[in-house]
Amino acid sequence: MALLKILRYPDPRLHKVAKPVTEFGTERLRKLVADMAETMYDAPGVGLAATQVDVHERVITIDVSETSDNLLVLVNPEITWASDEKQVYDEGCLSVPGIYDGVERPARVKVKAHDVEGKEFEFDADGLLAVCVQHEMDHLMGKVFVEYLSPLKRNRIKAKLQKEERGMERDAAARSARR
């Protein structure tokens, strides 16, 4: 297994729409899922979409358990039903580090997906799991949670993250020059 590089907003690759997985049970897909899970747990996070690691396929890893030992893998997920009832949840994102803000989403959803071997399954989700599924599925559609925020907030976040990125690049260059 290997840690993957998580793309940071506003990287344009985060806006690519993921394609459905067509080959199940392959070593490549198993490795992708294992690497995504390791990356998600290491970050630490509760969800990761393949889009966030620059793989544009419909694959998500999620673990909202308190003990980080209940990995849920969704391949080609679909929301088949969403409640009319909404909830606002303070969301964060591994691609938008250090930023949290309220996003309104359906409170409950029904999800249909495949496992790594291609077996279809369905489940109902509410609470944090419902939020996480919807958040990660947005990534597969090329959408980042900050796009639910006002243009003013979104522009402030973009400027902050770009400034941090420039600072990290300067620090890396300075370390490299000292060697």
56 known ligand binder: no
Q: Any catalytic annotation for residue 164?
A: no
Yes or no: say if 51 and 44 are a contact pair by the CB < 8 Å rule. Answer: no
Q: Which of 78, 104, 136, 147 is catalytic?
A: 136
Phi, psi at 103, each rounded to 5°: -130, 135
Token digits for 81? 């039903």
139 known ligand binder: yes
114 known ligand binder: no
Token digits for 168? 């990290």
Alpha-carbon distance of 108 to 105, in angstroms, equals 9
Spell out the alpha helix ranges (H) of the chain.
27-42, 127-140, 151-178
Q: Strand order in 47-49's β-sheet? A: 47-49, 59-62, 72-82, 108-114, 120-126
Alpha-carbon distance of 54 to 106, in angstroms, equals 27
Binding residues: 93, 135, 139
Task: Report, as residue numbers or ranges, the catalytic residues.
Answer: 136
Binding-site residue set for Fe cation? 93, 135, 139
